[in-house]
Structure 1
Amino acid sequence: MENIYRVYEDEIRSLEEEIEILTQKFENNKQEPVFYSDEEIQMSIKSLQGESKWHESLPDLKPELDCLKSDLSFLMKFTGIWFTNFSKITVKKTGNKTIQKHRLSGNCHSLPFQMEFQLLEIQNEESISAVVSDLSIIMECGEYSDLGKFVSCAEERGNLLLFFRSLSSFAEWCEHRKCTFQHFKAKYPDIIRLPEGTSGDYLVIRSPELSGFELIIVWKIYVDEEGRVTPVLDLLPKIPAQALVDKAPAVENGPQCFRNMLLLLGIEASIESLIQAVSMEK
């Protein structure tokens, strides 16, 4: 029995000694300095330098952002296209391919529009390519039937560049026509009539001397399926029956003379010439 107890006592004493040795080693390690290799030190220095450069570059971002805002403002004024809302959602991303869904709305001069489309971006080592699909454009084309047909073609082709380029040209011509009508109505309020307002497509010049005598200037703006925008002006004389006999040659030649004037003088000067001629009519 004593032998058994002696064995247990020896084992306990051995364990206690081992615990004491391990404790002493732990205390010694706490006091020893920690050494790093040259490679670890260089990595730490590079990391700190990178963070320092990033913080130093932050002040440079504001001038760059202001420059981008200035460029965007110039483009919007130049094209007449103003975006009022924009959002995008990443639909799928696999490897070097990303599919995003874009929604945006805005105005091109006085013409509002909304659209949404999917954009597939493929990023290679040297470049990034993008493909537009599922293009949907919402516009109130109203009396502009040609514009409605063009929008449908742009949707089918998914050609955003063609759409914005042609829309900008079309809206600019509409704005130019509106400003021209406003100008002549303000300058000659008793002679000029705008039955459909400044947004209409024709202007009426009334004779102050001869009742019923009018010259109607029709100003249409066409856009074909290829996006080509063409303004077309024509003259339609309205002559009273009693004056028709004497002025028959002028009535017949009037539209062709007006078209010749457009080529020589331009739109505003040609309209001004007609107003002056009608104002002096006796």
Structure 2
Amino acid sequence: MDNSICQVYEDEIQSLEEEIKLLAEKYEDSQQESTFFSDEILMSIKSFQREFQGGSKGHESPSDLKAQLESLETDLSFLMKFTGIQFTSHSKKTVEQTRNRTVRKHRLSGNCHSLSFQLEFQLLEMQEKENVSAVITDLSIIMESGEDSDVSKFVSSTEEHGNLLTFFRSLSSYAEWYEHRRCTFLHFKGKYPDIVTLPEGLLGDYIILRNPKISGFELMIVWKIHIDEEGRTTPVLDLLTKVPEQVSEQKMATTESAPARFRSMLLLFGIETAIENLIKVVGLGK
């Protein structure tokens, strides 16, 4: 058998193993029932490592290697769909290597739903008898929404502690809400183009509701996505009003109570229904 063909498959499998390890860790942590699936993946990885490192049993045939590669690709595809995380590039460089110590520099880029990210870090691996320990150092993270103060604080905290698991878990949650907000704004803009305005586009964090027949009256729905330094993500919505001075006292009182009523609707009916009802009220306003 041509050793060069085997080497190609081995290189591809090794690359897939590294991606699967990152995603499998997040999948394990986010759902208890995922343990069996993740363990199966990790057992497969260990099996591949034993086969390729030992060499005593000889190389498998190209068809066997292709089957194993396809199985890994299937597992990886499932994990990417579950987490929303997709790696677009990965490179590594060995910085230092001794008998018991290896330092490699990794660069990763990818996207999670509609958010892109770039990572750079060093991985220190220490071999002690049969145990291998790994420590992440010099972690640097660049995110598309880095101008958000909450995101900036979270990124700084993650870089300081070097916790990639926390980063990917929180990134998945944050990006899912980010995408949900974008799709919701797009839906209502398409359904009510005369009432809904997006001053900052689909990536902004607010929309404005106006009735074309009522000059000077508008409602602003603000939809923030807070993420704390520990990675906990929380959507926060509120309503701001702008009312012309010439409206009656009765209408003014009704408008002033609108934010509280909107927050109540959020709790009772959810985000989409609350926004829909508010748009209908604005559209029927006189």
Q: How far does residue 213 in structure 1 lie from its aligned partner after superposition? A: 1.8
Structure 1 length-normalised TM: 0.76
* Structure 1, 104-113 or 197-206: larger mean CA deviation: 104-113
Equivalence for 2:68: 64
**One-letter identity of the residue aligned with 1:73:** S
Question: CA 1:126/1:78 → structure 2, altered by over 3 Å: closer, same or farther?
Answer: same
Query: Secondary structure of the equivalent of 2:150?
Result: helix
Query: Secondary structure of the equivalent of 2:250?
Result: coil
CA offsets, 1:226-281, max 9 Å, x none?
Answer: 11111110011211212252212222221111111111111001000111112222
Q: 1:195 aligns with which of 194, 199, 212?
A: 199
Query: Secondary structure of the equivalent of 2:58?
Result: helix
Question: CA 1:52/1:125 → structure 2, altered by over 3 Å: closer, same or farther?
Answer: closer
Distance in structure 2 (CA, Å) of the matches to 1:81 and 1:125 = 35
Question: CA 1:155/1:56 → structure 2, altered by over 3 Å: closer, same or farther?
Answer: closer
Kindly report which structure 2 residues correspond to 1:9-20, keeping only aligned pairs within 5 A, or say none. none
* Structure 1, 133-142 or 143-152: larger mean CA deviation: 133-142
Q: 1:150 aligns with which of 141, 150, 154?
A: 154
Kindly report which structure 2 residues correspond to 1:90-101, keeping only aligned pairs within 5 A, or say none. 90-101=94-105
Residue ranges of structure 1 left out of the alignment (5+ in a row):
1-49
Q: How far does residue 161 in structure 1 lie from its aligned partner after superposition? A: 0.9
**One-letter identity of the residue aligned with 1:109:** H
**One-letter identity of the residue aligned with 1:218:** V
CA offsets, 1:75-100, max 9 Å, x none?
Answer: 22222222121111222222333221
1:177 aligns with 2:181: yes
CA offsets, 1:190-225, max 9 Å, x none?
Answer: 111111111111111112442222111001111111
Distance in structure 2 (CA, Å) of the matches to 1:56 and 1:194 = 58
Higher RCO, Cα 8 Å, sep 6+? 2
Instruction: From the CA coordinates, give the structure whose radius of gyration is larger.
Output: 1
Residue ranges of structure 2 left out of the alignment (5+ in a row):
1-53
Identity rate of aligned residues, in percent?
Answer: 65
Structure 2 length-normalised TM: 0.75
Q: 1:78 aligns with which of 73, 77, 82?
A: 82
Question: CA 1:207/1:115 → structure 2, altered by over 3 Å: closer, same or farther?
Answer: same
Question: CA 1:211/1:97 → structure 2, altered by over 3 Å: closer, same or farther?
Answer: same
1:103 aligns with 2:103: no
Equivalence for 1:122: 126
Question: CA 1:59/1:222 → structure 2, altered by over 3 Å: closer, same or farther?
Answer: same
